[in-house]
Amino acid sequence: MIIRRFFQITAAFTFLFGLVASSPAARIDADPSKSYELEKKRGPWMISVASFQTTGKSGLSKSGKTQEEAAHELILELRRSGMPAYMYVHDSGKNQVTVTDRIGREEVRKLRRVQTVLVLAGNYDNIDDKLAQDSLKWIKKLNPKCLQKGVSAVSKKGRPSALGGAFMTINPLLSAEEVSRKQRDPLLVKLNSGERNSLTENRGEYTLVIRHFRGKQVNMKPGKEGITLAKFLKNDNLDDAAHGARELSTALRGNYDKEGIFNNIDAYVWHDHYESLVTVGSFASPNDPSIARYKKMFGPRLETFPDGSTNYQPGYFAVKGFGKKRDKTRLWPFESDLQLMRVPQLR
C-alpha cells in the first residue's frame, strides 16, 4: 500500500509526493531553461519522488505555481545535488461520465479534469539494485528548499520529511515487455559476456532463431523406472549446448558450404538459462522484407522420396572436414518453425 502526502501551495495548489530517486553527487546538467522531460530510455526502474496536482475545478491553477513550475524547481534542486531527475505529465483526459440513477435514468456529469505532473529520478536496472535502495533512503530524508516556501505540509506519522513517501517504480513510458527487455539479468550478462558472435552485438530490433541447443533430455516409457534428478544432472552440462551453438555460428560465418548457400551468414549466439540459440539476421521490425529471404534459406524444404511422394522436411546444413583436425562431419537440422525474437538488451 502506497501512502501519499499532500502539500498545498498558496491558495490553490496541492502536491502529492511519492516518486524520486537519488544517486551520488555528480555533474548532472541542471539548466533552468531546459525541461528535462522523461524518455523511454530512462530506467527501467526509477524512484517516484513527487506528483503535483491542481485543486482548481477547471484543472488549472488559480494562483501560485503551476504543476510544471513546482516540478521543475524540484527537478533542478535534485539535479544540483547529483541526482538525475525528470518530469512526466499524466492527463486523465476524460472530464465527463454517464451515470444511471435507481430508476434507470441516465445523466451526464462533469468531472474535474486532473492533470498530474510526476517527478521521477534515477536510472536503475532492477528494484534490488544497491545504488537504487541507497538513493531511495537518501531521498526520503530530503527537505528540498523549493518546497519550504509557500508550501504547507500535512504531516504523516513516521514520515517527517517532505519526500518521506518516495518509492521505487518502473518508467511509466515503458510496457511490461520493454521493462523485461531492459532489466538486466546478472546470469545472462555473465553467460554472454565475451562470447564470440554474441547476439548482444546485433544492432537490429529482431533476429530469426534457426536452431535451439538444449541440455540433456530423457523420454520415459510407461511402466519403466524413472530416472532420478541426481542421475539426470550427473552428466548433464549446458556447456555441450553452448559448444554446439558456437560450432554452428562459426560454420555459417565461414566458407564451409561448397554450394555457397550457407557461407558468410550473419549468425549469432545467445545463451539463456536453459539453452543456447543460434540466430541469423538483423531486422528493424517484424515486417522487414529481408526476413523472407532468411526463412526461405533456413526453412523447411520440399523433398521427393523414392516412392515418388513429396513432403516438407526441416532444412539442414552438413559439413565434412569440420573441427580442429578437419576430420569430423557435422549435420545441423534447423527448426521446422522459424520464429523471430527480440534482440536482448544487456547494456
Same domain, 213 and 248: yes
Same domain, 36 and 164: yes
120 — pLDDT class (breaks 50, 70, 90) = very high
Q: Quick one: which H or E segment has residue 329?
A: strand 328-333
Residue 99: the pLDDT is: 47
Same domain, 195 and 162: no
Same domain, 49 and 141: yes
Same domain, 311 and 223: yes
Residue 86: strand, helix, or coil: strand
Same domain, 309 and 337: yes
Classify burial at 63, counting beta carbons within 10 Å of its beta carbon; exposed 0-12, middle 13-18, buried 19 or more.
exposed
Region 196-218: what's the mean pLDDT? 86
Same domain, 108 and 142: yes
Q: Give the C-alpha distances (Å, rounded to integers) separating 249 from 37, 204, 237, 264, 272.
A: 42, 18, 20, 10, 16
pLDDT(73) > 70:
yes
What does the pLDDT look like over 55-64, one tens digit per residue?
555 555 555 6
Domain containing residue 291: 186-342
Classify burial at 188, counting beta carbons within 10 Å of its beta carbon; exposed 0-12, middle 13-18, buried 19 or more.
middle
Task: Of 29-33, 135-139, 174-178, 333-337, give the lowest mean pLDDT range.
Answer: 174-178
Picking from 131, 150, 182, the residue at the C-terminal end of a domain is 182
pLDDT(13) > 60:
no
Region 70-82: what's the mean pLDDT? 93
Distance of CA 90 to the CA centre of its chain: 21
Q: Note whether 247 and 168 are within 8 A (CB).
A: no
Picking from 133, 165, 182, the residue at the C-terminal end of a domain is 182
Picking from 150, 166, 182, the residue at the C-terminal end of a domain is 182
Same domain, 249 and 133: no
Q: Quick one: which H or E segment has residue 328?
A: strand 328-333
Same domain, 278 and 323: yes
Q: Note whether 171 and 42 are within 8 A (CB).
A: yes
Same domain, 159 and 141: yes
1 — pLDDT class (breaks 50, 70, 90) = very low
- Number of structural domains the chain divides into: 2
Same domain, 162 and 280: no
Is 347 part of a structural domain of the chain? no
Higher pLDDT, 76 or 309: 76
What global pTM score does this model have?
0.48
